[in-house]
Amino acid sequence: MNTKVAVSTDTRAVEASTETKIPKWMPLVCFILPFLLYVNTLGHGFTQDDAIVIYDNMYTQQGIAGLPGIFSKDTFHGFFKEEGKAKLVSGGRYRPFTLALFAVEIEIFGMSPAVGHFFNVFWFSSLCMLLFFLLQKVLASWKADAAKWIALSTTLIFASHPIHTEVVANIKGRDEIFALLGALGAMWFVLRYAEKGGILSIIGACVSFFIGLMSKENTITFLAVIPMAMFLLLGKKTWNAYKPVAFLLISTFVFLLIRTSVIGADFGGTPRELMNNPYLKWNGSTYVDFTSGEKLATILVTLLEYLRLLIFPYKLTHDYYPMQISIASFGDWKVLLSIAIHFGLAIFSLMYWRKWPIASFVVLSYFATMSITSNLFFPIGTHMSERFLFTPSVFFSLILAIGIFRLMKSKQMATLMLTGLISLPLLAKTIQRNTVWKDDFTLFQTDVNNSPNSAKVRNAAGGSLITKAEEVEDPKQKQEMYAQAITHLQKALELHPTYRNAALLLGNAHFFRNEFELSIAAYRKALSFDPNYQEAANNLAVALQEAGRYAGEVEQDLVKAERYLSESLKLAPEDPKTNRLMGIVHGISGRHEMAIQYFAKVVQILPNEPSAYDELATAYGNAGNIDKMNELRQKANELKNASTK
């Protein structure tokens, strides 16, 4: 068999090759294998960003009734439930299609993570089967057997690669699946038009591309990929062949028009919060921007890390937030290596596209699909994420499959066997990695070991330990879990010195360990980062209250107790428990008139609580007002009798 790539410009030759019969087992394997790989996710719960798009999104939860809100608001608006908050994420997000799917599923099946996981696996399996058919068509310039065997090998590698677990095992990842489904579907129809013509092919391409764009903006990169495939692989050089691509521009224009009308023309911003802008650094007192050199060098290191993950997918993690990717400079060897590899590939693809058209197509398509998430052209709010490799990995899988085919000297079964051998460790890693996505606790506790320098995952690990400890009955184990949480949260604050949520959670962990002074200090720190942080203010009031109670009851220090309780009342003047404790402190101290004021406040807040009247009666009795005491006792008894009827 001739293994040399010969790009045919003869349409009839292309049609003949694409019509070659494909064994039925090939597409079947391409569907069944990924389904079996991810079947162990069907029993998993909601994780990670599922809250944003599913179970904590007010529009998705409404089912079909929520569709108008889904299509008329920023994707994150249903989660934040407040105008403007979605803009905290750089550029805004408008990805209504998959949210609409979630809403329909909830309408039919209810709030079921099993249903969400099933459809993720189903659509991923369908994507893999489409990929096989598309590659068989796009590689038709080779002999028919070469096309289908390389297509099969590529699809098996793509389906098996563990880099995709973040997309498939996390229900929210369906936006990536449909973005690629839409792009590949559009490419299929464009190639079909190039072969046979027909208005239906143009309509199919436009609709498919529009669905991809409405799922995630990444689809737009196929405006470059599709023409490159036609030119480099199919040798199409006439305007008529490219007509559907022009119609894809119309789909893109319509999408951008809708997107702009909904969320405005903001395609990138510069938030001043590290969790939404990774290119900030701490100068000892505030955050300042990276220098242009530091930013570019760090991006180059990130691009090198992407290549590493494709080739050696170990230590996978859902989190590459600051400072897991550290600040780089052009003196770092990783930066120099990244420059050498990426510039080398770019020069090769541009210089040798005639001799090696498939290799050039793979490299240029990889660059095109990586461009939108690279941070080179506009900020995306994070350094990197494994889900950003979902589409680019198609081209990595393709070049690897071609290499296997040529190494095996075009022997079909040998190609399949070597592909299987290479895929085995990928399969094992995928199955193992899927188990990590069982729930938030498992995910955060696993990935904190793989991303120890990420402030975000340290914060998440600490928070999940606090939540999990509530389910534990053993007091000793509870305390150990709170102690572990404190370690993670302190590290989070070390990495991100103004991380308000980490300070809040640190206060919670100390509070549950009865370390009230440390808890108070943590809440005050959170408020120093954001004076309007209401949750921290509320928790501080409770911590001060408990510190006051502990000082009075356990330490017998009434001065200290009064100080804490007074500060708590400044934050929560209507809290009945704090007013009651202040009444007790003043009563024990012999300040009965003051005690009366606080107990009267409790009665005002809780007018139907018998014990409030009893304590106020006692205060009046201690002050020598027996008549008032008896009146209040009678009222307390009336309330007690009424509650027993």
pLDDT for residue 85 is more than 60: no
Q: Residue 289 forms beta bridges with which residues?
A: 280
pLDDT over 90 percentage in the chain:
79
Find the distance separating the first CA and the last CA of the chain, reported in whole Å: 95
- Is 586 in the same domain as 561? no
User: 461 and 536 share a domain?
Assistant: yes
Mean pLDDT along residues 570-585 = 95
Considering the domain architecture, whether residues 459 and 524 belong to the same structural domain is answered as: yes
Pick the closest to residue 488 from 437, 531, 447, 436 (CA basis): 447
Mean pLDDT on 386-393: 96
Residue 171, Cβ neighbours under 10 Å: how many? 28
Assess if residue 552 is contained within a domain: yes
Least confident interval from 375-379, 428-432, 520-524, 526-530: 375-379
Residue finishing a domain among 511, 542, 572: 572
SS3 281: strand
529 & 624 share domain:
no
Please check whether residue 168 lies inside any domain of the structure: no
Average pLDDT on 469-496 reads 96
Instruction: Indicate if 248 and 195 belong to the same structural domain.
Output: yes
Q: Are residues 548 and 603 part of one domain?
A: no
The pLDDT of residue 129 is 97
Mean pLDDT, range 253-257, rounded to an integer: 95
Q: Same domain, yes or no, for 510 and 484? A: yes
Please give the tally of structural domains in the chain. 3
Residue 301 in any domain: the answer is: no
pLDDT confidence band for 12 (50 / 70 / 90): very low
Q: Say what the pLDDT of residue 591 is.
A: 94
Number of H helices, E strands in the chain: 30, 2
CATH number of the domain enclosing 636:
1.25.40.10
Residue ending a domain, among 222, 246, 266, is 266
Identify whether residues 634 and 536 lie together within a single domain.
no
* Residue 19 reports pLDDT greater than 80: no
Domain that holds residue 190: 174-266
Residue 294 lies in a domain: no
Beta bridge partners of 268: none
Percentage of the chain exceeding pLDDT 70:
94
Pairwise CA distance, residues 38 & 121, whole Å? 6
467 and 566 co-located in one domain? yes
Least confident of 301-310, 413-422, 495-504: 413-422
Provide mean pLDDT across the span 539-565.
Answer: 95
586 occurs within a structural domain: yes
Distance CA 33, CA 401 (A): 17
pLDDT at 14 > cutoff 50: no
Residue 166 pLDDT > 90: yes
Distance CA 135, CA 127 (A): 12
pLDDT at residue 271, rounded to an integer: 79
Tens-place pLDDT, residues 521-551: 999 999 999 999 999 999 999 999 999 999 9
Does residue 473 lie within any of the structural domains? yes
Higher pLDDT, 433 or 79: 433
Average pLDDT taken over every residue of the chain: 91
pLDDT for position 564: 97
How far is 59 from 484, CA to CA, in rounded Å?
36
At 88 the pLDDT is 55
Same domain, 519 and 595: no
The pLDDT assigned to 86 comes to 52
**pLDDT above 70: residue 16:** no
Among 531, 550, 572, which residue terminates a domain? 572
- 416 is a domain residue: no
**189-208 burial: b if 16+ Cβ within 10 Å, else e:** bbbbbbbeeeeebbebbbeb
Q: Is residue 128 part of a domain?
A: no
One domain, residues 616 and 514: no
**Range with lowest mean pLDDT among 76-90, 141-155, 308-322:** 76-90
Cα separation, 543 vs 506, in Å, equals 12
Task: Mark whether 566 and 617 lie in a shared domain.
Answer: no
pLDDT band at 6 (very low <50, low <70, confident <90, very high): very low
